[in-house]
Structures are given as structure tokens and as C-alpha cells.
Structure 1
């Protein structure tokens, strides 16, 4: 939907200009847009520009703890500051506020106007939610400023409570007044999408206030968590959405991410692609190019959190630390094989299936993503992907419900079975589906959340990480849980038993990779690729090493420190905006 916006806005302007031909040139009429339902619909389509693009979603977790990439994000270095900052843009808000101010023509039925006002307020809530996540306190602008409206043009930042209360009022209005309750295309905001956004907003705000005690807002966190529960429950009880379980269990999860048309049993809103219209994205190009992408790679610390199929932690097995890749991925949560290359994964080249183990030209840790990648190599060459990209899906609603209720200490066995149990059952897991967990996984707790002792909350966080991996949620989750320091976690890859011994990663009888201190020159005619893990390459530190020198886990960029302090929980306001507005104070630590 978002890719049609320029065309739609041009149509609106054309319609206005055609119907204004006989008006005096000094007058401007809003009637052609605001006095018909068709005009309101055309205008409201421009709001979709507020939503994330396909790339925003499928590359969103490149800024996270569990994705290694070919460089450190500048935000995590000492060189980042207000002069490098961005995101303080308000043009989309003006567009929405203009609509809200003028959607009052009684020539249009009241219920119709309220529906479109609900859409406008949905997008204003989305807009402000993103601003608060990024900057914290921001000015609340609820009207269109005139050219001499200095109160708004030079507005101070309003309190978090004022802004988020206003966001809640907007999304409540949207939930109540949007009349569309289904959309076969999966590309239109419905009332259920509004409830999903409300559950997302309220979970974020409730947990942020709970764990960020420096705000002094912990007493209000329960209210937001209760609102998250109620909005998610509304969808669970009264909508037609469910988890996609059709077809092979080895593909029911991945199909959500490689399907051309959104699987609307579960996908509530998506960025939809079209080969015919040339509306495409570049996920394959990003994930299968040695130069165009950033070689996004899952880390071993995170991959270790995928459960065994019997529901037990993988890290409870003896010898898991030194288990080679081909062994460690067996009998695991089926989402693992639907997220990274392993085992029998194959690609299609020239109409023929070919084995496709991890390829170190494209991956740094050995855990190579396939979640958004179409199997045919045709799509690798440019921005040819036509698979839709989900923005909201029912699985997130279940996770929001479970987490909010667990944070309130109210999650029951029945709740667990309907949410976490259902998600794990789809992934082939057989154990622990009906009962709340009562044992803490020490590996998961130690590596991720040492301050959390509740096994229920820990397991919900595990599930959220696994289910929503590479969908752009992770950084915001770490922020709200006040676990930003995980952004400094070492990037580790799979275990290499020894140098100079080829490894068969998919057990097809053909060696795939060998790790060496010196790549031979010339290269021998062999099936496998060479990866150099010596201390230096051409006199410079080698970013790719083994933890024990001649064996161990792969490391990546241990030689470059990453920085995280409390100031990183918010981005700085761009320096140019602070200079333009003397009433705008910089975020703490970024002055």
C-alpha cells in the first residue's frame, strides 16, 4: 500500500485542481477532498507513508545484540553524537493533523468521517510512538501550525506522560471508530490492526516504566500493562486471526515470510509487493551478496536459545559448547531450520535444486539467515523480491498478551497454552506446552537477563526473541527491558574443532569450508572455501578468529570495542534542530 502513495496524492491534487477551475484564483477550497467519502479515502491513503518500509523490517534487527554484521553501527561507537543524528522530522504529522482539522464536512455521513478520523489518529499514534521510542520526551503537536505560530514552531519538549496519554487517546479512538474489520489483501489498516498497535504501544510503555525506575513512573506501569492485555485479548477473542499451521510443519512458519500474498490467517498488515507494478524489495540481494549487504549473521549465543524439540534447553546437554554445526542444529525448534541455512536446505538455480550450506562469502558466524530469502537464485541479482513483508501478525499479539499478563503476575496455565504453548506447538515442540515453567534456564538467564528470576518471564522473552527474530523488534525490546548493554555482547559463531580440517556443514558428503591460518596461493581445486583465522592479515588485525586460536567458536570484530551507556537509551536530537529551536533541550549525555 505504501508504494502507491505518490500516485494517490497526485490523484488527490488533480481532483482538487479539476474541481477548483472556476473558483477565484485567490481562494483555496478543501471541498473536493473533504466533502466526499472518496476524497477522504484518497487523502487517508497518504498516511501509510508513516509505516516502515519492507527494508526497515527485514533489516531492522541488524541493530541488535543477536545479529553480527560486517561493521559496528556508529551509534555504538564514541564517534556518534548530535551531528550524526537524524529522525527529528515532522512533515508526516502535519499531513495527518491537517486532515484531522478539516474532516468535518457534514456533507459526509458522521460515521464515515469518524472512521477516517480513526485512521488518521491511528497513524498519529504510530508516528508519536516511534518518536517517543527514539527520543523520549517530544513536543506534542495536535494542530497544524501557522507560519507565525511560534508556540508550536519553537515548542518545548512535553513530558512523556502527556505525550503517551495523548497517544493512548488517539489509538483508543481508532479502535472504537475504524469500521473496517477485515481485509483480504492484508494491506489495509483495520480495527484489529488498531488493537494490535495498541497492544504493542501499551506493552512497550508498561515495561519501559517498570524497568526504567529513573523515570519515577513505576506506579503507572500496571495501567499500561493492563491496557496491553485488554487490547490483545480483544483480538484473541473476537477476531478471526489465528496462527498459520497449514502445510508442512517444516514450512508453516517460514511461509509467512516468503509468500507473495500475505497469509492473512495470521498476517494482519503487510507491505505488499507486485512484479507487475515493479514494486519490489531487495532481501535476497542483501542476504546473498558479499558486497551489497552487511553479511547479517545470527550469533551462537542466540542460536543456543532455540529449544530442543522435546522442550528442554539445548544448553542443558553435555558438550553443547564443543558441538559442531551439523550436530548442534539437529532435533531443534523447527523455526531454526526456517530461519537459517542448515541440514537439507536447498536453493533453486536454473530450475534445479542445489544443496546450499552456509557460505562464508555471505555470512560471518556460520548462521546464515533465510527467513526473508526466496529460494530461487534469480532473486539474488537485484531488488527482485516480491514476497510480502509483515508489519503486524497475530503471533506478536499472543506474545504481547503473554508478556503483559506475566509482568502483572497474572498469567495462568490456560493463558500459557493459548499463547506460548501454541507458538511452540507450531514449531514442533512437544514438551512444556500446557504448564507454566517453574525452572530457570541458567544459560539463558546468565547470558541475557541476570536480574530476572521469574522463569515465566524468562521463557516469554526467549519465545519473543525466537518468534520475532529479524522482524525489527529486538532493539526496542532491549530498550524497554533496560538491557541495552547486551548491544556490547561478543559476536560468536559456530564451533570449529580444529584448523586445516574440512567441515561438511550439511552432511551431504561434500566438504564445505576449512579454517586456516594461511589461505593457499594458488587455491587448490577443492569443493570447500577457505576462511583465514590468523591473528593478522597483511599486517592488520584479523576480525575473524577462533576463541582458542586453533579451535573454538568463531569470533567477529572482537578487536573493535562497542560503547553503551545510559545515554544510549535515547537517540540525540540532531544538532541543527537544537540550534534552530532555543527551547529544545538535548537528551541527557548528548549535550
Structure 2
């Protein structure tokens, strides 16, 4: 049974908000007769789950890992300051709903609900508030920190933005308090699967702290060690809890076979409906990927190691491909579980994959995650979206540990990313292996993150925090080798001198370091609040 079932119509009426930040009078949102029971608190918390992000189909086309059927304004540098922006407004809708629950919970206490029961839902609201502020921090840096539901005349509506240091501090505080209130996944058990747990709060704190720690380190501000230490500690709490482990099949993580409590790798998921006859909410990932909304690039595919643990530029196992299937020969197993190859089950239009259709999969590579024959036919899918996986926690631990002192022991590697390499069927990463083969530990830790979390919406933000976007994003986008006999009579694309598909030339891509590491605030928000200032050079 899915958690988003009860009181959706009621909650939508309770939490309707305007496009700008918290400008509806309190009387329009408050319903003193509602907050009477634990069911009321649960219904209010259930609404927060409806605001979890959906499938990150197009997030990776902002980066060098994916390309759609056409350029986008983020990767080509052509975007303008928007009048309104859901990436700014939607988090504040979530923040208001979370604030409302936190404020109204005492009404349920006065009606006989126990403090421990109420604290669980307060903990969920604190988590969601932190989740929303993290999305704002990533994009905009300094933003208004709103911790109460506001009346029309609230002073906060014309106040300057809070500093990013204040915002990240509040994120940590909310997550720490949430973790104190929330149950473990074991306590939630099958009946509570999908609800926010204690380990979800720790894992998300680790994500936020790694982002801010590495961003402050490579952008040279603040105290990176403080954040990196918090990231390392929070990740280790999840690891030491023994509540989670890696799922045996990487491919099935993104299929119906990976759903439910039996998959202990999932820490936070967005749940979808059960079937066409029990359809609460669905997505259409199979069709989206088949029609080319996001296609892997050569840069991503090339980052997968050979089975000897070496990159293609160093491994004697690597041979230039003669046929499309050769791209997958002697490679990290996660490559063939992420990118479609000849012989894979595909769609109802083409039951077995042969070669990409270049009018849709313009890179000549096609996505395999979330592809399902039945979902494609039904035009809807109910495969749950893993938002936080245990694999990410292991990656956070390794990266935070390394960046704190720019070294990491083999013991810590074995506790973390070597578990991922084992699942990918490639050799363990050790300090001796790095030194012997002329590699760098930082690059190999980052490589592991790139391939493990491929096409899951992380790459663009990694380039932002590492301050490498200015180097990587202006590069040309290349695709697969053009196998003329396999691509057949399709319209021949533009090719490089060595016969790789040239999807987008470097001259059509741009990243301005003095501007693009932060996003522009919407002009409507600047007009509504004169205290807000536009981010530099927008």
C-alpha cells in the first residue's frame, strides 16, 4: 500500500499557496478543527511526500553526461533571468507546508495525541524543510530563511536573504532534530516502508555537508573541514547502523524487482502507484528515454573502467570498437546495466535493442535504467525512484574522508567504494594500485561516483561543487562511434575526424565562471521583495 492515499483533497485545500514566498494570510491556511488526531498529523505529513521531486530525466543534460534531442539553455549558456521559476517557488511551498505542520502539531497534543507520536510527524516535516532548503542553497546560495508560516504583513517578506552559512546551519539543525524523532527502517518495517527514517536524515545530512564542504574547499570560502567532518560522521552513522546494504543486482535497482523493504539499499524513495488499476501517481521514464529526452554521452561511457580496474586510456584490454557490442567488452558491469546494448530487451516497438535511433538517441547511446516493456506499452510506469541510495552514502564517506586530508586508507576504501566496485566486477581500489598505474586517488573516487550514480541527476551539481564546470561543460558533446553498417540508412550525423558522432560543437556550449556557479533569482521575486539582491552578473 502506498503512503499517499488519505486526505489529499483536504490537504490540497489546506496548503494552497501563492507563487511568491508565503503571501497568503494565515486565516486562509489555518483550520483549527483539523489538527485533532494522529491521522490528521499523518495526513498533513503525507502531503509533504507528494512534493518529493520526480524522475530526474533531464537533469543530466545540463552536464557532460547526457544530451537530449536538442540543446538546452543551461548547458549552452543561453538562459536568461526568468520572471518566475518553479525551482525557487516550489521549495517554498514545501517549506510553508512543513512549517504549518510543525506549528499546528501542538493542537493535536492538546487533543490527546502523545508527544512521541507527534514527534515522528514533526521529524518528517523538519526533514522536508531541510530538503527544500538544500535545493535552494544549491541553486541560489543566499536565500530567505523562513521558519514560520507568515502573515501578509510579516517583516520577513521584505528582508534580505540569509547567508548560505545560515541556511546550511539550519539544514544541519533540522536534520539533527529530525533524526532524534524519526524511527529506524527496522522499526518502520514493511508497513512503514517509504516513510522518512532516522537513517534518511543522516544520509541527507551527509549529502548536504559533502556538497557544502567540497564547494567551500574548491571555491575558497568558509571552513571546508567543518562540513567535510560532518559529512564523514553522518555517512558513518548510516554505515554503522547496519540498517542498509547494497542490493545484489545494480540493474534491478531501477526495476520493479528492486522495490520494497527487501531492497535495503534504498534509503529514501519516491513511491509511485501499484498498477494501472491502482494508479495514484505515475511517470513515463521508458517513453521519455526511448524518445531521446536524455541520452548518455561518450564522455560518460568512456569513464567506465575495464575489468582490470584501469581506464580505457591505460588498459591493455581496451580495443577500439569494430561493432557496437565491442563498447561493452571487458568493461565495468554497470555500463551494460546503464546503457542499452545489442540484444537487450527494449520496447513494444522494438522488442530487442539493436542500435540507437539517431533522430531520438542523438548520441548513438540509449538509456537502459527504468526501461520496461510493459511500462512502455501502457504509457505509464510505477517503478519507484530511489532518491537516496546506500551506495551514495558509501561514496560520500570515501570522498569526505579523502578531501579532509587528501588521503584515504585502504581500510576506508574497503568499507566504502570497493563494495561498489565488487558489484561492478572490477578490482578493488588501493593506494598501491593508484601509485603503480599513474592514477590519482581523487580522480578515481570521483570516477566511482560518476558511474555508480550515472543518469540519476548528480553530475551537474558535482561539477558545480568541484568548480570543474568551467572546464568540462564547454567541451564538445561526442557520442558513439559511427558504425555505418549498424546505423544503416539513418541520416548520417556530423562526425569527428576519427568517426565519432559530433552531437554538439564546443562553440555552441558555454559556462561563465563569474556567473553560472549560481542561478539567477526570478525577477518577480526581486520585485516583490526589494531586500533581495540578484546573484552576480545576472
Partner of 1:109: 114
SS of 1:80 mapped into structure 2: coil
TM-score (norm 2): 0.87
Q: 1:336 aligns to what?
A: 335
Offset of residue 465 of structure 1 = 0.3
Q: Is 2:473 the counterpart of 1:487?
A: yes
SS at match of 1:4: coil
Query: Which structure is larger by alpha-carbon Rg, 1 or 2?
Result: 1
Task: Please state how far the C-alpha of 1:346 moved relative to its aligned partner.
Answer: 3.1
Classify the secondary structure of the residue corresponding to 1:75.
coil
Cα separation, 2, equivalents of 1:288 and 1:124: 35
Question: 1:147-177: CA deviations, max 9, x gaps?
Answer: 211x111121111111111111111101111
SS at the partner of 1:153?
A: helix
Asked if the contact 1:271/1:389 (under 8 Å) is kept, the reply is yes
Please give the alpha-carbon distance, in whole angstroms, between the structure 2 residues aligned to 1:300 and 1:440. Answer: 27
| SS of corresponding position for 1:335 | helix
Equivalences for 1:84-233 in 2 at 5 Å? 86=85, 87-89=87-89, 90-104=92-106, 105-106=109-110, 107-149=112-154, 151-181=155-185, 182-184=188-190, 186-213=193-220, 216-217=221-222, 220-233=223-236
- Runs of 4+ aligned structure 1 residues displaced above 6 Å come to 13-16, 26-29
Q: Structure 1 531/441 Cα, relative in aligned 2: closer, same or farther at 3 Å?
A: farther
Return the structure number with greater relative CO, CA threshold 8 A, min gap 6: 2
Native 8 Å contact 2:478 2:504 kept in 1: no
Q: Residue 411 in 1 paired to residue 401 in 2?
A: no
Work out the CA distance in 2 between the residues paired with 1:579 and 1:12: 30
SS state at 1:570 partner:
coil
- TM-score (normalised: structure 1): 0.80
- What residue number does 1:46 align with? 47
- CA 1:66–1:440 in structure 2 vs 1: closer, same or farther (change >3 Å)? farther
User: How has the CA–CA distance of structure 1 residues 117 and 354 changed in structure 2, closer, same or farther, with 3 Å as cutoff?
Assistant: closer
Structure 1 gaps of 5+ residues are 17-25, 246-251, 443-453, 503-511, 515-528, 533-543
Q: Are residues 113 and 314 of structure 1, via their aligned partners in 2, closer, same or farther at CA, if it must alter by over 3 Å?
A: same
Check whether the contact 1:202–1:225 (CA below 8 A) recurs between aligned residues: yes
Cα 1:309–1:490, aligned 2, differ >3 Å: closer, same or farther?
same
Report the equivalent of 2:24: none
Unaligned runs of 5+ in 2: 16-26
Q: Distance in 1 between matches of 2:384 and 2:269?
A: 6
Q: Does residue 583 in structure 1 map to residue 531 in structure 2? A: yes
CA deviations 1:177-197 (Å, max 9, x no partner) are 112534436421111111111
Mark the CA change 1:153 to 1:299 in structure 2 (over 3 Å): closer, same or farther.
same
- Aligned partner of 1:473 in structure 2 is 458
Indicate the residue corresponding to 2:72 in structure 1.
73
Q: CA deviation at 1:583?
A: 1.1
DSSP-derived class of the 2:239 partner = helix
Structure 2 vs 1, CA of residues 147 and 131 (structure 1 numbering), >3 Å: closer, same or farther?
Answer: same
Query: Separation in 2 of the partners of 1:12 and 1:84?
Result: 28
- How big is each residue's C-alpha offset from its partner over 1:387-437, in whole Å with a ceiling of 9 and x where there is no partner? 2211111111111111111111253211101211110111111x2346564
Q: Secondary structure at the match of 2:454?
A: coil
Q: Determine the C-alpha separation between the residues in 1 that align with 2:144 and 2:32.
A: 31
Q: How far apart are 1:380 and its partner, in Å?
A: 2.7
1:92: Cα distance to partner? 2.2
- After TM superposition, the structure 1 = structure 2 runs for residues 548-563 of structure 1, keeping only pairs within 5 Å, are 548=497, 551-558=498-505, 561-563=508-510
CA distance in structure 1 between the partners assigned to 2:523 and 2:496 by the alignment: 41
Separation of aligned partners in 2, 1:581 and 1:183: 45
Give yes or no for contact 1:12–1:39 (8 Å, CA) kept in 2: no
Contact 1:437 / 1:455 at 8 angstroms: preserved in 2? no
In 2, Cα distance between equivalents of 1:366 and 1:75: 22
Following superposition of structure 1 onto structure 2, how do residues 536-575 of structure 1 map, counting pairs within 5 Å? 544-548=493-497, 551-558=498-505, 561-566=508-513, 567-575=515-523
Does the Cα contact within 8 Å between 1:284 and 1:379 map onto a contact in 2? yes
Aligned pairs (5 A) from 1:245-256: 245=248, 252-256=249-253
- Deviation (angstroms), 1:328: 3.1
The alpha-carbon deviation at position 314 of structure 1 amounts to: 1.9
**2:340–2:353 Cα contact (<8 Å) kept:** no
